[in-house]
Chains A and B, each alone.
Chain A
Amino acid sequence: MLRPSVTYRVYLGVNMQIAHYLNQFFGGVGAEEHAAMGLEIRDGAVGPGKVLESSLDGARVALTFVCGDNYAVERQDELTAAVLKKLREVNVDLFFAGPCFDAGRYGMAAGAIGRAVQAELGIPVVTAMSEENPGVDLYRDSLYIIDSGTNVTKLRDVVAKMAALGKKLSASEPIGLPAEEGYLRRGWLRDQLVEKKAAIRLVDMLLTKMKGEAFESEMPATSFAPVPIPAAVSDLSKAKVMLITDGGLVPKGNPDRIEGTAATRWGSYNVEGRDDLRAEDYEVSHGGYDTRFVQEDPDRLVPLDAMREMEKNGIIGKLHNEFISTCGRSNPLSNTRRLGREIAEKIKRDGVDAVILTST
């Protein structure tokens, strides 16, 4: 949808038009006993929307959506569709939802609707929640969520922050860091030229740390849910075993065009009837290690020769007639999760009992 820029609209003397989503409580309908109420669309500002208007000079809340918390989570798709339909009929510059504080159902609804409005209509969206609100983890990567804390009496401050951020977004102004704008960290990185060279920042950080003062690491530690160790293979001599590598071994010519960096593809290659991988049949698509030794003898990466021997000696039941290969170099998690899922689906389909993963 093409809309005149805010600057142009201001030039024309048109006020910024806002749409706002509230739950039944902040919409002034009532508390938990009204949580089942369906969507109501009202003209003008309601409750926190009035604060929004006063924070945004010359802006006008054109529409307020009010909906019960239970209805919103139980019929989220329906609600989202109804909001989108209405917004397609009117012309708004900004969409606000909340603040939701620590109200979980409210946060989930605000996040779902906000994400759809932003993605499908291209309208900037700002919401607000406390860090513990379950809506934060689900929507922080797609939305600006102002940190509202849990104290509802701070509503005026929170709405003022939402308004300030919304104004910047609709004017396509650069958005500052979470601490500057008051939003919750979204989990993204962006490059910025800073005044101090890395070397100076490094020594600064160490000296602050040595003094026992608070220092800010430029990257927070990441933690991942532990991967449970699977049950042991009960009888290896009856198991179908498969070789998988992320070392980039591919047949000559790289038929699946597996990229040598951040591969988005993987391939499955037949080795039926072969006891050994010959150098002339394979190449390596991987720029992150010294591939000369694998190129000389591909069994060093995908040990078909050793596995065939184990097969002959009855140590394993059978070697699967294909091996899978991809390139693990510099691969972001959003990508490797998909690759892993696809590969797991395939080996499950193929009835493989155990996998040996070789890496580089």
Chain B
Amino acid sequence: MFRTAASVDKVLRQGIRFRQRRDPFSVGWAEREEELMQLTLANHPITDLQFGSPTRLEGTVLIADPAELRRLVLTDGSIIGVDFDIVRPGEPCRAGPVFDIIEPRAKEPGAGTDFPGILGAPFTAGLGTTHVLRGAAVSVLAEISPDLTRSATGRVLEMSGAPIEASDYAALRHLIVIPHTKAGLARQAIEKVYRVAGLRVAVALAQSALNHLAAEQNTFQSVGPGESSHEGLPRVAYIGQIFSRQRKPAVDEPILYGANTDGMLPIMLHPDEWLDGAVVPSLHSWFGGTETYFYQNHPIILDLYRRHHAREINFVGTIATIAGSDNFDRDRHCRAAANLVKWNLQADGAVLSKYGGGLPHADLAETARLLENMGIRTAVMVSDVSRDRRVESALLFNVPEVDAIVYNGGNGTKWQVPRLDRIIAATPEFTELLAGPMTIDAANIVGVTNQQGASRMRAIVY
């Protein structure tokens, strides 16, 4: 049954009341939390997405009610209108600029908050059961270009033709959400509106699965620095940048549990917190290859889990960090991150990924260098920065200790995409711009140059 935002809040408030209750004779919340310390994903495969009323799940068909969703989105007074559309794999259509892509997920009542710190109280993410509409996505389009120095089109969702092989997003059924904001809002205010609208719609869709039996339930095995079940196996940690201070975040910019990361030092997160809504991309990152979808389906964390389950490694935990704005800032973050991996997680090895543009490469390499000097082996993943396709322009650091590098590609690939009759965009100008035929850089097809580990596009040295 579809729940309105008000009923979501009601569920959450019940949780809060329950937690605050001091009843010595009943099972306390703390014990319940202990019980729920593992994340269970209840997967509902979605094979089709259609408009209808009310919003519901019929077998594997997701029905979305535009009127209900419109009411939900319009509770934000900055939004004056919203359009919805549906795109399916293989359909000759193109949508853009894409602000974010989100997997529809909803927490089971009592298991915590959806996107804690943004849509509700900042309870710990990653506890209890979360229902997942696997195969579906909510994709938010923007009325503005991300950054004119990069591309006028922004990132484009292409559902047919050659580019689909290079992006996981082409295989999903997308509910396209096009919010129209009132005039006169600052850029970051508009982006914040997009963020919240997308998350709300994604949660609302997934709430239709709450009273359905999941096709499969996956519970992640327990991980942590003190986990005794995996003793003797190589201890591996993940360090992920979640922001780059190349830009100062807006005061109300939600990134980590709704906080804007200003002044933060590296923090330990349970892997399930990443997967369950604790982290979203920054408002300015929609050209940067980071989408909410791949935090929810974090390729690095999921691969570490896979090997943890296979008893190949002991996955000891993760660190969320940010790239600094200057050398002091950088040293502070890199050292704190390395120290957490060494002393708190006591890892033997770590994989590292970056965020944003060029500068964060320096933070990535410095953190890896510190770890290597502590005796902790590292491998890092960087984005493609070589615009002249020469190897000499490929790295932004030259650190002998950082010798294990995964190199994402994309700078050398362009696709000729045809004129399409079906273009989904927020404005007539974007519709015309995206109509084609045109040449489009790989980096401008959403998903191709993803920085969270989802990309299969590699720049190979020859």
Contact = CB atoms under 8 A, between A and B. Distances in A.
B385 A330 contact: yes
Indicate the member of B234, B247, B377 with the most A CB atoms within 10 Å. B377
Given A189-B461, A191-B413, A217-B405, A333 B299 contact: no
A141 to B, nearest CB: 8
Nearest to A196: B456
Contacts of B403: 217, 221
Nearest to B247: A290
Interface residues of B, number: 71
A188 B404 contact: no
Interface range for A: 35 or more
B462 A177 contact: yes
B34 interface: no
B404 A215 contact: yes
B407 to A, nearest CB: 4
A260 B287 CA distance: 15
Interface in A191-247: 191-203, 205-207, 209-210, 215, 217-224
Interface string B355-398: 00111000000000000000001111110111111111111001
B459 A199 contact: no
Indicate the member of B400, B408, B409, B458 with the most A CB atoms within 10 Å. B458
Indicate the member of A202, A205, A209, A292 with the most B CB atoms within 10 Å. A202
A187 B390 contact: yes
Nearest to B245: A290
Nearest to B386: A189
B300 interface: yes
* Overall SS of chain A's interface: loop
A223 B395 CA distance: 10
A218 B349 contact: no
A193 B359 contact: no
A222 B300 contact: no
A195 B457 CA distance: 9
B241 to A, nearest CB: 14
Contact of B457 (A191, A331, A334): A191
Contacts of A287: 147, 149-150
B392 A198 contact: no
Given A202-B381, A207-B313, A222-B398, A185 B462 contact: yes
Contact of B248 (A199, A290, A330): A290
Sorted nearest first, the 4 A-B pairs with minimum C-beta distance are A199-B453, A199-B299, A287-B149, A260-B149
Interface of B: 147-150, 165-166, 234, 236, 246-248, 299-300, 302-304, 307, 312-313, 348-351, 353, 357-359, 377-382, 384-395, 398, 400, 403-413, 442, 450, 452-462
